[in-house]
Structure 1
């Protein structure tokens, strides 16, 4: 009998949830699985705006990685990877532990390139031009709840009757939804404060990948939320009084939501893995790392090389959105199993169009798929049901 293969899942993102589910449904006695993650709970990105808007608890947005690992017969270690040696087939964890592997997969998400001249700790002031605005980085997602709680505590300290300008840097559906959700919660938390929002996007149009109707519906929702749109403007730095653009303009801000400049995890730069210019792991069409047999990557941390061409999207530039990790998950599970058994791998084909459900922070949502778009309260309820079903498929039933 051949020796047992050791499969190590690095990170507990959406794609790896499908891998664990697949092995729970069809166990393989020839494969031992280890999961390394910074936590035994993993946030589902689709539900994060719902939580930010105060429509659900943080726990209701999380996948129970510990329970899912147990169902799959996998060993979970709650210490993230900090180094990997592809040649010696070993990964080093933050706790100092070194794990040998035969096959490994990365699903560690992305982080953000923070703006220039930002400060880690800031305080609110009545004089807006004396201090830089308060920065809320939207990534990494795993620690967003700590940063969000810190901001809300600062909001509690503001005097009554003040005026707060919230600027979101980074367009796209996620940027629109996040800003509307945050403003809804802050207005509920402090109704005695005047809140104003601005969405800053380097793209010349709103939702560049969407059709005319979804763009119009989103623009209308932003207007109703009191949000001003700034297209073709690239936020670059936090300075006294607000955000400085690449053209040298100042956009007044007290709070800045930074949701642009996605990059790979910093520790990957010190490895021998092939990375693109943004620090993402280069993979081929089977999700196997380029020139690294037995290593795989999926979700935000992966970049295709050579690029796959599909209409209307160019795969190497897919948005960093959870929907693509979800679509990669089942094929990744099959290919990891095949790699452990030295069997042929299958190619992943990206969807030509994806459905985007954009919450507007007021109990409504917008559905966007290509040229098709519609909105309403029922869309919001539909989105919440879809998200809840997705999380429930991986979690044990909640105990009352």
Structure 2
């Protein structure tokens, strides 16, 4: 009996000690690890019995945010995911990812600023060369070289292109064009604006997440909901400038359910519903923009807006994808959900956080809608 009493006391004491040991810890925001196993499950909860969300492979780099019961939390396809920590190896360079981004923007190089809208970026220094994109007044680029009346500039995706110098703040005086007072005619290498208006159309803009739902968490602890809100403000203004009547599902940082978002749209004679999001993934190299639609009646809207987006921004094109998301299924009007880049990818995030990028997104959505309705 004495032995049993001592044994019981020992067990009780051990249980007491276990209660004092914390079961939850926090990893450094944005800390990265390398997968050491050939295949590693990403689960919905910190348990071997939880649903498998996806798979990672050996050598993949993942970003974690907190630790719990020997598991670490990350994001997989925009969802919270959990990985067994003993399958991970800390990377040698675990400084906050934002530091890496910052170092790429501190170079002191000569720059040029575009002074007209719809300026073509070409593969060579002449209008006979093909256009690889367009740029807008106020956009600034690092100057690489000058040849005649053309500047070669460094683009955000690491490639180079040529712009007409007379459409920048550093007009040259070596060519045949009078530079003192540029006259923007049809052949001055700025894209002709075909016009178009959204007057009479009701557009619903749905800023994803909000309130106690931050959405995905990116490098440096950036919240998806915050980037979505700032982007939506610019999109809404651009649409209104084009004449559209714009309804916004949330006007502040508060939570609203998917059903409520759809109900707001369905209560109006809505012509198009656009839900705005930013993406996340545990593998840091995954990047780019994508647009989702649910039914065949939404496909043309997705095609028109996404085509406009990828021609306006310098992020990887992940295409249009059919997914039966609840907010799209529940909305009567033609509807799409846009993922405007990965906040877990250093390059994407460096672009996404700029007002220039968000302005280009707004311009792309506006032009895409004009093309769609016309």
TM superposition score normalised by structure 2: 0.23
Computing the radius of gyration from Cα coordinates, the structure with the larger value is 2
Flag the structure with more relative contact order, 1 or 2, with Cα contacts below 8 A and sequence separation at least 6. Answer: 1
